Structure 1
Amino acid sequence: MSEQKKVINAIGWGMVASLFLSSTFIINSILAGSGGYWAWTAALRSLFLIPILAAVVFAAKQLKPLVQAFIKHPWIFVKWGLIGFGVLYTSLAIASLLSPGWMVAATFQINILAGILLAPFIYADERRLIPRRALILSVIIIAGVFVMQFEKMSQLHSVGSVLLSFFIVLLGAVVWPLGNRKLLVDLEHKGLHLNALQRVLGMSVGCLPLLIILSTIGYLKVGLPPIAQCESSFYSALFSGFLGGVGFYQATQMVKKNPVALATIEATQVFEILFTLVGEMILKGTPLPGFYGRVGLLIVLGGISVHFWNTLRHSKRLPVTVIN
């Protein structure tokens, strides 16, 4: 497969994944508004995700290689599962108590920059170099995202809560690309070849210690979670964790050797805020964006379009590769 065709396929995977990943912000916002306890919100999603993924991986006859890899190198999955999944979803659950879903989704887009800026600390080969053009385009996209929120700032009642939410989501925005990229690197070093389904399941099982702690906190504080919260968390696990998470990990795996394309795949997550806004308009009656919203949207669409063009142009100069 040509590098350009592979990049196009990966971008498609990334955009579809962002649609399903946006369900996390919408569901967390609804649960926070209905009184769902944050610890159960953070824990239930991954607890439901594990049996869903296990059934799919087992049906695909891919469970045995994962189990063997987990037994041989458990610390890889525990470490990056706790960081990339456990810390991520805990931070998003807490932030949803402090800010509306659209703001959490907007702040989370900082992960687009985090993935690029973390590269020198993650890789030891040519991937450690920061692609400057991709970095500039990502900064433009982030600027557009925040412009979209200017008109809504006046609707927020507590500046302190907004700032606290910002730093909590910032933590999640850093650990998400960190966990994904570092797991890929560690698997490469160990000579382990796992697909997206296997990797997501391995990380989900790896974060079980934190899930048990969160479940214990939730039980001690409010008892067992209500049925409505369990149902919502199941849908979050199915749509965001399974369809969105696996789709995104598949996209990053397809271009894991190409830092420019990898930055573009991470940039496709900017569509999460658009999908979240649409979802909240339908489910919660959020009004249509005004002037700043439309200006920000144009900046975002312009930035991501140039991002795509830059990546496709760059991929033309690369040799034909085979997807691992």
Structure 2
Amino acid sequence: MSLARRALLAVGLSLASTLFFTATYVFNRAAAVDGGHWAWTAALRYLCTLPLLLVLMPWQGGTAPVLRAMRAAPGAWLAWSGVGFVAFYILLSVAAASGPAWLVAGSFQTTVVAGMLCAPLLYRDARARIPRAAFAVGVVVLAGVLLMQVGHARGALDAHAWFALACVVASAFAYPLGNRGLLLHLERRGTDLNATQRVFGMTLASQPAWLALAAWAWTQAGAPPMGQVGFAFGVALSAGVVATILFFQATGMVRDNPTALGAAEAMQAAEVLFSVALGALFLGEAWPHGIALAGAMLVVAGIGLFAWVVAHDARRGTREAEALRGDRGG
């Protein structure tokens, strides 16, 4: 497969994952409105995700390679799952209990640029650079998201909403940082695991944290209501399994291409579009108009620009590689 096709396929897979990620905000907010404790919301998602992944593992390379990799470097797995799964989802669940779903969904789109900004902290090679073209498009997409936020806000944010905003922005950095960190760890050790195996390993490594959080939630709120368990199972299946595997597959395919990797991560901005569309089609909510509509159009334009930048960058890389082979042949 050519570099350009691989990069565009990764962007497409990440965009598909976004549709399944969107369920997180709706289900989490519904659980919070019904009185469910945020700690149960966080713990139940990953406690439910593990058995769902176990069912898939026999057809996805098995658990043995994952367990070997975890035994060889347990600290790395605990650390990166702690960042990319535990910190990410605790912060997101706290935010859902403190602010409306539109604020959480929109603010998480800071991840459009978060992964690229994390690159200099992780890498010591060419990937440490922030790809300027992709970053510029990311800023355009983020501007569109902010316009949609303004259109939805209809007024000033209260203290709870500001707290939710801070939690979501921190969560938006934790998710790509944990994913990139684990990919880099596996690369350095020469360990080849597919997307499902990586998701399974991080889910398994994070279980002690979720069990501890569940025990604390029990002391604070008692047993979770069945409605909250149902919402958590829905999030586990949609976001914890389907969306996360698609996203990890996408980022794994382009781990060596900073522009394509940033673009794949930036596709999460489409969550705002999907959440608005699903709300309008199935919940009777209003379609965006005015400033919000302008923001939505800017997000769509940004996604198209990302596809162009990725394809252009990949074609240039292919030409440079062919020229290098020609020089060596001469």
Q: TM-score, normalised by structure 1?
A: 0.95
Letter matched to residue 306 of structure 1: L
User: Distance in 2 between the 1:59 and 1:255 partners?
Assistant: 23
Partner of 2:261: 262
Deviation (angstroms), 1:278: 2.7
User: Distance in 2 between the 1:287 and 1:29 partners?
Assistant: 19
How do 1:78-227 and structure 2 match up within 5 A?
78-154=78-154, 158-227=157-226
Deviation (angstroms), 1:231: 1.3
Partner of 1:288: 287
**Percent identity (aligned):** 34
Distance 1:60 1:299, change over 3 A: closer
User: Distance in 2 between the 1:98 and 1:155 partners?
Assistant: 17
Do the aligned partners of 1:80 and 1:206 also contact (CA within 8 Å) in 2? no
Deviation (angstroms), 1:290: 2.0
Q: Deviations over 1:177-219 (max 9, x none)?
A: 1001010001111111111101111111111222022101211
Deviation (angstroms), 1:282: 4.9
How do 1:7-22 and structure 2 match up within 5 A?
7-22=7-22
Do the aligned partners of 1:26 and 1:279 also contact (CA within 8 Å) in 2? no
User: Distance in 2 between the 1:31 and 1:155 partners?
Assistant: 25
Deviation (angstroms), 1:68: 1.0
Distance 1:109 1:288, change over 3 A: same
Deviation (angstroms), 1:29: 1.2
Q: Deviations over 1:64-120 (max 9, x none)?
A: 111111111111211111110011111111101122112101100101111111111
Secondary structure in 1 matching 2:191:
coil
Deviation (angstroms), 1:128: 0.4
Partner of 2:326: none
Partner of 2:65: 65
Deviation (angstroms), 1:227: 1.4
Secondary structure in 1 matching 2:154:
helix
Q: Deviations over 1:241-280 (max 9, x none)?
A: 1000000000000111000001110111111111122333
Do the aligned partners of 2:120 and 2:129 also contact (CA within 8 Å) in 1? yes
Partner of 2:37: 37
Q: Supply the RMSD in Å over aligned alpha carbons.
A: 1.6
What runs of 5+ residues in structure 2 fail to find an aligned partner?
322-330
User: Distance in 1 between the 2:224 and 2:8 partners?
Assistant: 42
User: Distance in 2 between the 1:7 and 1:263 partners?
Assistant: 11
Do the aligned partners of 2:111 and 2:176 also contact (CA within 8 Å) in 1? yes
Do the aligned partners of 2:60 and 2:197 also contact (CA within 8 Å) in 1? no
Q: TM-score, normalised by structure 2?
A: 0.93
User: Distance in 1 between the 2:193 and 2:92 partners?
Assistant: 27
Distance 1:278 1:33, change over 3 A: farther
State whether structure 2 residue 3 is matched by structure 1 residue 3. Answer: yes
Letter matched to residue 116 of structure 2: I
User: Distance in 2 between the 1:14 and 1:72 partners?
Assistant: 30
User: Distance in 2 between the 1:299 and 1:282 partners?
Assistant: 21
What runs of 5+ residues in structure 1 fail to find an aligned partner?
none
Letter matched to residue 87 of structure 2: V
Secondary structure in 1 matching 2:317:
coil
How many residue pairs end up in the alignment?
320
